[in-house]
Amino acid sequence: MADLPANRDTARCSAGGPTVGGPGPPGGGPPPGAPDPAQESLSQALRAGFNVLRIIIVVLLGAYFLSGIFQVNPGEQGLVVRFGRLRTNPKDGSHIFREGWHLALPDPFDEKIRISGQNYKPRLTTFCFPLDEEDLKKEFGDINLGEAPQKPRLKPGVDGAMLTGDHSLAHGLFAIEYRIDDAALFVQNVGETPEAFNKLLRRLAENTIVRTVAGLPVERVIRTQTEHAEADFTLAVRRRLSAELERLQTGVTVLNVEAKTIEPGRVRDAFVDVIKAKSERQEKESEARREANRILSKAAGPQERYRALLEAIEAYGAAQAVGADAERLAELRRQIDQQLERAEGEVAARLRQAQSRANQIRERLQQEYQLFVDYREMYRRYPELTVTRLWVRMRDAILSSEDNEIFFVPEAGEIEIITNRNEEARLQREVERYKQRHQQP
């Protein structure tokens, strides 16, 4: 048989004692070449630690990539900037991410920007005199400019003022309300925050206000609230400012421009007098319109009736002024007659009186004509008798007339009638006849 190695154990005790049949290492330890339990334990611990580390790294990497998911809240617009360029939303092809959750790479690969859709309302104090801090903290509608300070001269940079088209001065406090409607244009051309835009808005608003006010009289600037909305100069400021922002592609929409304006203190009394005069004029005009409506209503009935009649009369006068032909004038007269027939009030009463008088005159003329025809026929048959009757009829008419107050018959063969020329009596008779003709039916 081959010889066994000298260091090989031929037998071991069951209790782990020294090897039987050969010499062992000093101290009773494991033989050379056997695995060390401590090293084995350390190796197992390291392997377990690396496995845990792998899991942690995987979890951290997953959390890192999941951190790129972002949410856009209601009323906001989301943007994703990747390597300096806006990322396109795969849902609609635009650069704007609407309300909801969206996938993106984590920072620093993708930068997420959220732009609020709320309304902003910064104030512009460039054209106003210094205000108290308490006033500046109030809502814009609650600020009362009161009276401008009465200074002998205004200090540039401190006492802001506007120069109007009629070379007058006015102070003004403005509030510009806007909203960011296109976040992509806003971020590309302005910035990421409203604060960055407010500086640009301030410069544009100042330029717009100066250009607008320079073409208006001071009354239009001081009185921003008028009867006609188009007269409010803040609307012109808003339109011009909106056009400038659109030209610059800022993505901002100007919703409203409010202004509180006041005249300089040294000329306030003159402005107050002007306001009083305008108020009195408006009051007189309103009173005159009411009186005109009352008179016209009394004359021709309700408003719709007399307006139609006046329009027809004015149309006829305009046609006469331009030399319209006879057919056109006749047509316009027919329209006036139609409106007169529909009219009420005194016009209707006068028309009825005129119609009644016309009927009376027509009947009287018809009677006179018929009487003439009868006398002519009678004269042809009985000339002398007819002449005598006509003479008697004429004599009776003269003697019974109220105009003949004195008459006498001389001893001559002829009758002479001398009528009285008393003007007072004649005028009194004319008054009586006028009263009878215009007596209400």
User: Model confidence over 357-366: pLDDT tens digits?
Assistant: 899 999 999 9
* Three-state secondary structure readout of the chain: CCCCCCCCCCECCCCCCCCECCCCCHHHCCCCCCCCHHHHHHHHHHHHHHHHHHHHHHHHHHHHHHCCCEEECCCEEEEEEECCEECCCCCCCCCCECCEEECCCCCCCEEEEEEECCEECCEECCCCCCCCHHHHHCCHHHCCCCCCCCCCCCCCCCCCCEECCCCCEEEEEEEEEEEECCHHHHHHHCCCCHHHHHHHHHHHHHHHHHHHHCCCCHHHHHCCCCCCHHHCHHHHHHHHHHHHHHHCCCCEEEEEEEEEEECCHHHHHHHHHHHHHHHHHHHHHHHHHHHHHHHHHHHHCCHHHHHHHHHHHHHHHHHHHCCCCHHHHHHHHHHHHHHHHHCCHHHHHHHHHHHHHHHHHHHHHHHHHHHHHHHHHHHHHCHHHHHHHHHHHHHHHHHCCCCCCCCCCCCCCCCCCCCCCCHHHHHHHHHHHHHHHCCCC
The pLDDT value recorded for residue 202 is 93
Count of domains forming the chain: 3
Rg of the chain over Cα atoms, rounded to whole angstroms, equals 56
Does residue 204 share a domain with residue 190? yes
Best mean pLDDT range from 5-19, 145-159, 216-230, 353-367: 353-367
The pLDDT value recorded for residue 2 is 41
| Residue 174: band (very low, low, confident or very high) from pLDDT cuts 50, 70, 90 | very high
State the amino acid at position 127 in one-letter form: F
| Residue 6: band (very low, low, confident or very high) from pLDDT cuts 50, 70, 90 | very low
Domain for residue 148, yes or no?
yes
Does residue 255 share a domain with residue 221? yes
Q: Percent of the chain, pLDDT > 90?
A: 17
**Average pLDDT in the 182-189 region?**
90
Q: Is 300 left (phi over 0), alpha (psi -120 to 50) or beta?
A: alpha
Does residue 105 share a domain with residue 206? no
Domain for residue 339, yes or no?
no
| Residue 119: band (very low, low, confident or very high) from pLDDT cuts 50, 70, 90 | very high
pLDDT at residue 28 greater than cutoff 70 = no
Candidates 112, 124, 16, 106; CA nearest to 61 is 106
- Mean pLDDT across the chain: 80
Does residue 183 share a domain with residue 139? yes
Does residue 192 share a domain with residue 162? yes
| Residue 1: band (very low, low, confident or very high) from pLDDT cuts 50, 70, 90 | very low
Best mean pLDDT range from 140-144, 231-235, 326-330, 405-409: 326-330
State the amino acid at position 62 in one-letter form: G
The pLDDT value recorded for residue 4 is 43
Domain for residue 174, yes or no?
yes
pLDDT at residue 220 greater than cutoff 70 = yes
| Residue 141: band (very low, low, confident or very high) from pLDDT cuts 50, 70, 90 | confident
- Residues whose CB falls within 8 Å of the CB of residue 201, separated by 6 or more in sequence, listed in order: 122, 176, 178, 252
Does residue 168 share a domain with residue 106? no
Q: Decide which of 40 and 357 is more confident.
A: 357
The pLDDT value recorded for residue 19 is 45
Domain for residue 43, yes or no?
no
Boundary of a domain, candidates 263, 280, 302: 263
**Average pLDDT in the 111-136 region?**
86
Does residue 209 share a domain with residue 91? no
Q: CATH no. for residue 241?
A: 3.30.479.30
CB atoms within 10 A of CB 150: 10
pLDDT at residue 206 greater than cutoff 90 = yes
Boundary of a domain, candidates 233, 263, 293: 263
Q: Decide which of 94 and 257 is more confident.
A: 257
Which residues lie across from 20 on neighbouring strands?
11
pLDDT at residue 91 greater than cutoff 70 = yes
Nearest-angstrom CA–CA distance, 91 and 106: 20
Does residue 255 share a domain with residue 123? yes
pLDDT at residue 396 greater than cutoff 90 = no
Domain for residue 237, yes or no?
yes
pLDDT at residue 265 greater than cutoff 90 = no
**Average pLDDT in the 204-211 region?**
94
Best mean pLDDT range from 29-33, 242-246, 406-410: 242-246
Domain for residue 344, yes or no?
no
Boundary of a domain, candidates 239, 263, 287: 263
Does residue 231 share a domain with residue 107? no
Q: Is the separation of the CB atoms in 221 and 233 below 8 Å?
A: yes
Does residue 236 share a domain with residue 163? yes
Q: Is the separation of the CB atoms in 192 and 113 below 8 Å?
A: yes
Domain for residue 157, yes or no?
yes
The answer to which of 128-142, 266-280, 322-336, 353-367 has the lowest mean pLDDT is 266-280
Structural domain including 440 reads 402-441
Does residue 145 share a domain with residue 228? yes
Q: Decide which of 359 and 84 is more confident.
A: 359
pLDDT at residue 246 greater than cutoff 80 = yes
| Residue 277: band (very low, low, confident or very high) from pLDDT cuts 50, 70, 90 | confident
The pLDDT value recorded for residue 13 is 38
The pLDDT value recorded for residue 96 is 81
| Residue 67: band (very low, low, confident or very high) from pLDDT cuts 50, 70, 90 | low
| Residue 255: band (very low, low, confident or very high) from pLDDT cuts 50, 70, 90 | very high
Q: Is the separation of the CB atoms in 129 and 149 below 8 Å?
A: yes
Nearest-angstrom CA–CA distance, 72 and 99: 5
Does residue 250 share a domain with residue 142? yes
pLDDT at residue 59 greater than cutoff 50 = yes
| Residue 403: band (very low, low, confident or very high) from pLDDT cuts 50, 70, 90 | low
The pLDDT value recorded for residue 94 is 82
pLDDT at residue 268 greater than cutoff 90 = no
Domain for residue 103, yes or no?
yes
Q: Decide which of 186 and 222 is more confident.
A: 186
